[in-house]
């Protein structure tokens, strides 16, 4: 472990109100920065192919490894969604989609997309790549642990995928894995399938904790000189808060996985009440299935924000850069991120309104759910006000940002419907819920991921993605996603239940058949259009326009490395020194419309940010 | 503590675009807290594991077992002895950190050996207690009390094993080291010491809630639920 800080020689005099009090120092030299007091981090430089690209300790390579593995699982999840939609739109068209298989597809699609795709991609992928670069560090503080983190994730994915090939197949208990049915015969994959799922999730949590440890400590303790907390880009604030949430929420998932594994393997009864199955009294008794629901959603709800907060942070930066304007209400944005993070631990039971809870309990959770909408709405207003009268560049990145705002507002408003007990109960377990959460935590974060890939691809590869293909990709994805999920709200209102394999000749059929067919066709088109994106990435890797340094004219540190793409260690001989926040766009008096974070005050003497 | 919160919330109210604030911010060294990375890591693990252990206990109390048979546990047994061993481990770890401050290399080495040895004694004691429990017919699936008991002690043991892994790394460096090199391990040793203190706190909470005052806690929970 690198030993960074020599306490003996460095009495920390104070820098901002963030650390201990002391003199702020007075000097007439406006460019003055404190001399470096922290010794350089020792990095392990790999020389062979294996140490450079496989068991690599460079956070950027680990980020790319996370990204590619997550995208692979995402494609599996996408294919599963096609199979589900085929059955729903055109029942019994594909003979091998039986009811059992359908439930397995539903379960694996949900778990893959939420945990192994979105979480891994935002925190493992973007987190690893961007955190050291954006805070001005050479790498994560514990690079070896960081490497182990990825390989744990990789093994977790392998175990999960292995469950497709075991007798009985993967679990089909729904992504919530509610006991007792998840581990009892009768549910698909209730044998080895569910055990592999639980083991895989446990490995994921352990691996993530190692990564999370790195993100938190790197952000708190390993920033470069001049980089105060309030000079960090919002991307870092989003990743930081989401990681903190994950570190506190994932233990709940781990505990429930361990307990359910024991229930299955050793016949304990943590979640199992006394059960009679086919006339036979089982050995279980005394446990509570509702306890699992509490544990699961104590993880499950913060999980929504673990996905959403990095998306909020990233989209704020993308909007600011591509609208050439400082983000409106930076401090409010930070407070909102932190506030949403804290509140997200007090809303979990709104997923359990139909579990027979005490009405006062429901009242409490409905109230907290509506309160969390306040900081969330504040962020939406701030994004819109940032765009107001801005010098907007209508490129692919901006299109995805705008797509995000629209989708997120849409999903957020339906969330307010569902947050109220009285409205939720009739809508519970209908397609309205499917539409809501796919809009708010499926499509909205995906829009950000895609915008972020178009934005940072030049940094990672040194080449630009093709704009024309990007715009086609955007319009297919945006309009297609709306074609899929907008009609689902209506399906929910007329009462079409979710998780049903087939409607047979129920009264819903007449009004829902046409829409279901339409949704399926749209889903197939949207899925296929993602291959435009993949094609764009593959061809641009070799043939894309060379990006050069800082092609978007952004301010944050990741664009200011000596080499593009940045090499191991990120910075040349010296770490960058930060003189300002990353949102100095179109500052009156400045020559250019942007001032990078490393620009010293003397280089932009006439420029002065207006008082806010 | 109030200073800590003042610093924390004070930082969140900084206006980074203000000229006056910029002048102050330029002096910032890049660290938020004046602690080593190793200690920071232990504090983060502290947070994560506290949630983990709390949820196991909460889960136990949520489904308070009806008519649990814990009579076997009420007899004087190894748990008291194991608790004592763990207290001694913390005591000797304190001696390590004190010796470190006085630069007493030999004491550091010797006390580190005792710490490792006693930790393994604790682990074997726990295993032995498990065997005793199983011999008396109390398995992990016997009732929810024992399920929670086994899972909690297993998780605590795994945490201790994880700590011992890092203890091994640090000790192998310290064993051969001269005085100056031991000082370079100071932060790792201090972090380990903090980790062991955390493990003791977790154990004492468990010992009080699920063993010494188990019946009182269960009765209180029942009253609360009804």
User: For chain A, what is the mean pLDDT?
Assistant: 91
In this structure, are residues A557 and A133 in contact, taking their beta carbons and an 8 Å threshold?
yes
- Which DSSP symbol is given to A442? I
* Residue boundaries of the structural domains of chain B: 91-226
Residues B157-172 pLDDT 10s:
999 999 999 999 998 8
Q: Do B29 and A335 touch (CB under 8 A)?
A: no
From A13, A38, A213, residue closest to B41, measured CB to CB: A213
Indicate yes or no: CB of B34 within 8 angstroms of CB of A12. yes
Q: What is the DSSP string of B54-109?
A: HHHHHHHHHTPPTT---HHHHS--HHHHHHHHHHHHHHHHHHHHHHHHTT-HHHHH
Minimal Cβ distance to B47: which of A38, A217, A247:
A247
User: Which residue in A has a C-alpha nearest to residue B66's C-alpha?
Assistant: A286
Distance in angstroms (rounded) separating the CA atoms of residues A604 and A594: 11
Share of chain B above pLDDT 70, in %: 92
Q: Give pLDDT, residue A12.
A: 37
User: What CATH class has B91-226?
Assistant: mainly alpha
Predicted ipTM beyond 0.90: yes
Alpha helices in A190-329 (DSSP H): 192-221, 234-265, 289-322
Neighbour count for residue B106 (Cβ, 10 Å): 9
- Residue B160 distance to chain A (closest CA, Å): 16
What are the pLDDT digits (tens) for A404-459? Answer: 999 999 999 999 999 999 999 999 999 999 999 999 999 999 999 999 999 999 99
Backbone angles phi and psi of A546, in degrees to 5: -55, 135
Instruction: Name which of B72, B44, B52, B75 is nearest B206 in CA terms.
Output: B52
CB-closest option in B14, B26, B29 to A37: B29
Cα gap A300→A348, rounded to integer Å: 7
For β-strands A276-277 and A280-281, DSSP reports them as: antiparallel
Phi, psi (rounded to 5 degrees) for A284: -75, 160
Instruction: For residue range B36-63, list pLDDT tens digits in order.
Output: 999 999 999 999 999 999 999 999 888 7
Chain centroid to Cα A480, Å, comes to 22
Chain A residues whose CB is inside 8 A of the B67 CB are: none
> Could you tell me the pLDDT band of residue B178, with boundaries at 50, 70 and 90?
confident
Question: Cβ separation of B16 and A248 shorter than 8 Å?
Answer: no
SS3 content of chain A, % helix, strand, coil (to 5): 65, 0, 35
Res B106: pLDDT? 83
**Mind listing the pLDDT tens digit for each residue in A501-547?**
888 777 666 778 889 999 999 999 999 999 999 999 999 999 999 99
pLDDT for position A339: 95
Q: How many CA atoms lie within 13 A of B141 on its CB side?
A: 15
Task: For residue range A560-576, list pLDDT tens digits in order.
Answer: 999 889 999 899 888 99
The CA R_g of chain A, rounded to the nearest whole Å, is 25
What separation in angstroms does the CA of A24 have from each of A21, A65, A610? 9, 43, 23
Closest Cα of chain A to B35: distance in Å?
8
Pick B14's closest partner by Cβ from A17, A338, A608: A17
Residues of A in contact with B187 (CB under 8 A): 3
% of residues, chain A, pLDDT over 70: 94
Domains of chain A: 54-393+548-604 (1.20.210.10)
Burial track A416-441 (b if 16+ CB lie within 10 A, e otherwise)? eebbbbeebeebbbbbbbbbbbbbbb
Contact flag B62-A288 (C-beta cutoff 8 Å): yes
The answer to whether the CB atoms of A226 and B41 lie below 8 A apart is no
Per-residue model confidence (pLDDT) at position A504:
78
Q: What is the mean pLDDT of residues A98-104?
A: 95
Interface test with A, best of B2, B6, B9, B17 (most A CBs within 10 A): B17
| B11-35 pLDDT, tens digit each | 888 888 888 888 888 888 888 888 9
User: CA A498 to CA A272: how far, in whole Å?
Assistant: 25
A515-543: b or e for each residue (b if 16 or more CB lie within 10 Å)? Answer: bbeebbbbbbebbebbebbeebbeebeee
- For residue A207, CA distances in Å to A150, A158, A243, A278, A439 come to 7, 14, 13, 40, 29
Q: Please judge whether B44 and A255 are an interchain contact, meaning their C-beta atoms are less than 8 angstroms apart.
A: no
| Between residues A10 and A319, the one the model is more confident about | A319
Residues on chain A touching B144 (C-beta within 8 angstroms): 268-270, 286-287
B22 to chain A: which residues are within 8 Å by CB? Answer: 579-580, 601
CA distance B172 to B174: 6
Which are the contacts of A602, defined by CB distance < 8 A and separation ≥ 6? A30, A31
């Amino acid at each position: 472990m690198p030993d960074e800080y020599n306490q003996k020689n460095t009495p920390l005099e104070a820098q901002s109100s963030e650390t201990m009090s002391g003199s702020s120092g007075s000097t007439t030299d406006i460019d003055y920065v404190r001399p470096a007091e922290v010794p350089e981090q020792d990095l392990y430089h790999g020389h062979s192919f294996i140490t450079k690209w496989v068991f690599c300790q460079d956070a950027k390579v680990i980020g790319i490894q996370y990204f590619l593995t997550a995208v692979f699982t995402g494609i599996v999840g996408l294919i599963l969604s096609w199979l589900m939609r085929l059955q729903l739109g055109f029942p019994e068209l594909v003979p091998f989609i039986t009811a059992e298989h359908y439930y397995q597809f539903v379960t694996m699609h949900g778990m893959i997309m939420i945990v192994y795709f979105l979480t891994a991609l935002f925190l493992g992928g973007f987190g690893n790549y961007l955190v050291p670069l954006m805070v001005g560090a050479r790498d994560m503080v514990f690079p070896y642990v960081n490497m182990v983190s990825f390989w744990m994730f990789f093994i977790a994915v392998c175990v999960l995928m292995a469950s497709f090939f075991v007798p009985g197949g993967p679990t089909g208990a729904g992504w919530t894995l509610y006991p007792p049915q998840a581990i009892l015969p009768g549910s698909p994959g209730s044998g080895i399938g569910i055990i592999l799922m639980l083991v895989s999730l446990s490995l994921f949590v352990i691996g993530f904790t190692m990564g999370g440890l790195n993100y938190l400590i790197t952000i708190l303790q390993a920033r470069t000189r001049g980089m105060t907390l309030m000079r960090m880009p919002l991307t870092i604030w989003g990743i930081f808060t989401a990681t903190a949430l994950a570190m506190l929420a994932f233990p709940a998932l781990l505990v429930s996985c361990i307990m359910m594994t024991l229930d299955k393997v050793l016949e304990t009864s943590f979640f199992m009440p006394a059960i009679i199955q086919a006339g036979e009294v089982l050995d279980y008794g005394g446990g509570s299935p509702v306890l699992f629901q509490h544990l699961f959603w104590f993880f499950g709800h913060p999980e929504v924000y673990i996905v959403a907060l990095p998306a909020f942070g990233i989209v704020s930066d993308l909007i600011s850069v591509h609208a050439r304007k400082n983000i409106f209400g930076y401090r409010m944005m930070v407070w909102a991120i932190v506030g949403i993070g804290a509140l997200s631990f007090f809303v979990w039971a709104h997923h359990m309104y139909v579990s027979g809870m005490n009405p006062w309990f429901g009242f409490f959770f409905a109230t907290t759910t509506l309160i969390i909408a306040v900081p969330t709405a504040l962020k939406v207003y701030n994004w819109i006000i940032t765009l107001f009268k801005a010098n907007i560049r209508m490129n692919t990145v901006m299109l995805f940002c705008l797509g995000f705002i629209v989708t997120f507002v849409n999903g957020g408003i339906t969330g307010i419907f569902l947050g109220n007990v009285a409205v939720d109960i009739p809508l519970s377990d209908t397609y309205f819920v499917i539409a809501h959460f796919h809009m708010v935590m499926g499509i909205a974060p995906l829009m950000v991921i895609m915008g972020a890939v178009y934005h940072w691809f030049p940094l990672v590869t040194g080449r630009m993605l093709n704009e024309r293909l990007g715009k086609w990709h955007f319009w297919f994805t945006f309009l297609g996603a709306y074609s899929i999920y907008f009609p689902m709200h209506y399906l929910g209102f007329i009462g079409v239940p979710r998780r049903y394999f087939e409607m047979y000749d129920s009264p819903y059929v007449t009004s829902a058949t046409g829409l279901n067919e339409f949704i399926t066709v749209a889903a197939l088109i949207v899925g296929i259009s993602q291959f435009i994106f993949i094609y764009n990435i593959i061809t641009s890797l070799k043939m894309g326009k060379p990006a050069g340094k800082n092609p978007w004219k952004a301010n944050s540190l990741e664009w200011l490395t000596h080499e593009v793409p940045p090499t191991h260690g990120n910075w040349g001989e010296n770490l960058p020194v930060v003189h300002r926040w990353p949102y100095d766009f179109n500052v009156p008096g400045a020559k250019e419309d942007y001032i990078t974070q490393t620009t010293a005050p003397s280089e932009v003497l006439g420029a002065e940010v207006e008082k806010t | 503590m109030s200073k800590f919160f003042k610093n924390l919330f004070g930082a969140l109210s900084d206006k980074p675009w203000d000229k006056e604030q910029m002048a102050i911010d330029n002096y910032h060294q890049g660290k938020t807290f004046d602690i080593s990375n190793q200690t920071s890591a232990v504090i983060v693990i502290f947070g994560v594991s506290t949630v983990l252990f709390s949820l196991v206990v909460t889960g136990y109390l949520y489904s308070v077992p009806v008519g649990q048979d814990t009579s076997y546990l009420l007899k004087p047994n190894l748990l008291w002895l194991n608790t004592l061993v763990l207290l001694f481990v913390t005591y000797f770890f304190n001696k390590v950190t004190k010796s470190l401050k006085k630069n007493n290399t030999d004491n550091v080495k010797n006390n580190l050996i005792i710490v490792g040895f006693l930790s393994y004694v604790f682990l074997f004691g726990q295993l032995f207690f498990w065997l005793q429990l199983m011999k008396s017919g109390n398995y992990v699936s016997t009732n929810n009390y024992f399920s929670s008991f086994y899972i909690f002690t297993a998780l605590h043991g795994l945490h201790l094993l994880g700590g011992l892994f890092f203890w091994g790394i640090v000790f192998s460096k310290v064993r051969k080291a001269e005085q100056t090199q031991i000082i370079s391990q100071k932060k790792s040793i201090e972090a380990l010491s903090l980790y062991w203190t955390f493990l003791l706190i977790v154990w004492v909470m468990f010992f009080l809630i699920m063993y010494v005052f188990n019946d009182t806690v269960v009765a209180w929970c029942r009253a609360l639920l009804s």
